[in-house]
A and B are shown apart, each in its own frame.
Chain A
Amino acid sequence: QQQVKQSPQSLIVQKGGISIINCAYENTAFDYFPWYQQFPGKGPALLIAIRPDVSEKKEGRFTISFNKSAKQFSLHIMDSQPGDSATYFCAASRNQGGKLIFGQGTELSVKP
């Protein structure tokens, strides 16, 4: 019940395309769902986060879509750029400062 399942494991997108990464969770007590971006050798950096009281949140080229009834959420990267090439992790926790459970990660490669 603590798992967060993420797919796909890897993703290749052309420059300018849309990158979509999906996550599913089981624990309905989770109420904070962040996405992290990680470059090799670096710690994860918070990209965008959502709470279950909204179905969508957009920040620049990044959008989270949230489906509470399906217990799924996804990250959309619009107009993907080579600089977006990184590993992306979804996560979930009971509160923003609490214990985070991470998905398995998606390695995104944006081709020029």
Chain B
Amino acid sequence: GAVVSQHPSWVICKSGTSVKIECRSLDFQATTMFWYRQFPKQSLMLMATSNEGSKATYEQGVEKDKFLINHASLTLSTLTVTSAHPEDSSFYICRISVNTEAFFGQGTRLTVV
């Protein structure tokens, strides 16, 4: 069965609004969670790494005030896209790390209109 639950699987929002994406670890306590973004026909680009109870570490070029990451517990991390614009439309995927293994979520297709 699934190890990671990512919700929602798709969302359409109006420009200027905020969207929250959840990533839940179903069977394990995830010490580390990663957030990736994937534009059509492109590779997965790491946005940030989050550890439970501490601030996320963002990759170069990723705006931390725009992409808010909260890793409040060992089973839940959220990514909030604030003041979304059409250029934020993308496929967002979380990945959880459990000891030496890691698992991807099913992704969230965000469309900003």
On A, residues with C-beta under 8 Å from B are: 36, 41-46, 89, 95-105, 107
Contact = CB atoms under 8 A, between A and B. Distances in A.
Contacts of A100: 34, 44, 46, 95, 102
A44 B93 contact: yes
Interface of B: 6, 32, 34, 41-46, 49, 91, 93, 95, 97-102, 104-107, 109
Nearest to B95: A100
21 contacts: A36-B104, A41-B91, A41-B109, A42-B107, A43-B93, A43-B105, A43-B106, A44-B93, A45-B104, A89-B43, A89-B44, A95-B100, A96-B100, A96-B101, A97-B97, A97-B99, A97-B102, A98-B97, A100-B34, A101-B46, A105-B43
Contacts of B100: 95-97
A43 B104 contact: yes
B21 to A, nearest CB: 13
Given A44-B44, A105-B43, A96 B93 contact: no
Contacts of A36: 104
A42 B106 contact: yes
A105 B102 contact: no
Report, nearest first, the 4 A-B pairs whose CB atoms are least far apart: A97-B97, A43-B104, A43-B107, A43-B106
A103 B106 contact: no
Contacts of B99: 97
Given A44-B44, A44-B93, A96-B100, 10 more contacts: A44-B104, A89-B43, A97-B32, A97-B97, A97-B98, A97-B100, A97-B102, A102-B45, A103-B43, A105-B43
A95 to B, nearest CB: 7
A95 B98 CA distance: 12
A104 B49 CA distance: 20
B34 A99 contact: yes
Given A43-B104, A43-B106, A99 B49 contact: yes
